[in-house]
Amino acid sequence: METGMKAPDFTLNDKDGNKVSLSDFLGRKVILYFYPKDNTPGCTRQACAFAKSYGEFEKTGVAVIGVSKDSEASHVKFASKYSLPFILLSDPELKVIKEYGVWNERKLYGKIGFGVSRTTFIIDENGFIEKVMKKVKPDTNAAEILDYLKGEKK
């Protein structure tokens, strides 16, 4: 997926089992971020940074959506434990994760396997990819997006 491409529409379940489609957000900018796993150190820091900045995203009408392969039940516990106010979607079959090109070979502790590459997409009001942020840092991703959005409005 690259800047300027139409973002593939999808429908996944949120933590409460409700179906959520990307097309539900047409007319709003969407921060769609893919992360490896609930309750891991980096993913927790990233989610908490989005939660801390959530009010600023809401003020500008920007939706924040996190996607991982974790189950709905895992998302319920993760969102509850850290008071996450935004949407978490479950993609256990990796359909959307693969469609967005974030399921990649990774080397961890000397072992090669596959996993989700921490990637954030900013999708514009018309459903096109405005910006792709690869290999984002968990602690600064939300702030970088806010800086980008503020710079855009000048």
31, 43, 63, 116: which is the annotated catalytic residue? 43
d(CA 111, CA 13): 31
Q: Are 116 and 94 in contact (CB under 8 A)?
A: no
Rounded to whole angstroms, how far apart are CA atoms 121 and 115? 18
Q: Is 48 a catalytic residue?
A: no
Which residues lie closer than 8 Å to 141 by C-beta, 6 or more apart? 33, 46, 49, 50, 118, 120, 133
Rg of the chain on CA atoms, in Å: 15
Helix axes 141-153 and 41-59, enclosed angle (nearest 10): 20
The residues with which 129 forms a beta bridge, in sequence order, are 123
* Catalytically active residues, by annotation: 43
